[in-house]
Amino acid sequence: MIENNKSSEEKGNVIFVGGKPLVNYVRGVVIQFTKNNSSEVVIKSRGKFISKAVDIAEIAKRSLDDLKVFVKEIKISSEQFESSGKQTNVSLMEIVLSK
């Protein structure tokens, strides 16, 4: 699993991608940078939501062009679990945006 070595204060800057509309996540990233004045925002996703996370990062980056937001780091890994007696792998991705 992806490990996060940030303080508990910085953990509030994590956006977990799921089934909500794309614009909700982009708005969350923008709010973290503008209203909460965060220096970094982490976008975490699993499985089928990885492509949505990439879209969120790119749209947020373009929206925050005046703040010079950029992709600082991308972490990938996979998680293995057992379901119905069968081993399954799920891909994980973490995109760190910084200003």
> Could you tell me if 17 and 45 are in contact, meaning their C-beta atoms sit under 8 angstroms apart?
yes
pLDDT in tens, 10-33: 567 999 999 999 999 999 999 999
11-98, what's its fold? Translation Initiation Factor IF3 (3.30.110)
Average model confidence (pLDDT) across the chain: 88
78/91 Cα distance (integer angstroms): 4
Domain boundaries, the chain: 11-98
pLDDT in tens, 63-75: 999 999 999 999 9
All residues at 6 or more sequence positions from 25 whose CB lies less than 8 Å from its CB, including other chains: 15, 17, 43, 52, 56
Predicted TM-score (pTM) of the model is 0.82
Q: Which pLDDT score, from 0 to 100, does residue 20 have?
A: 96
Q: Which pLDDT score, from 0 to 100, does residue 85 have?
A: 86
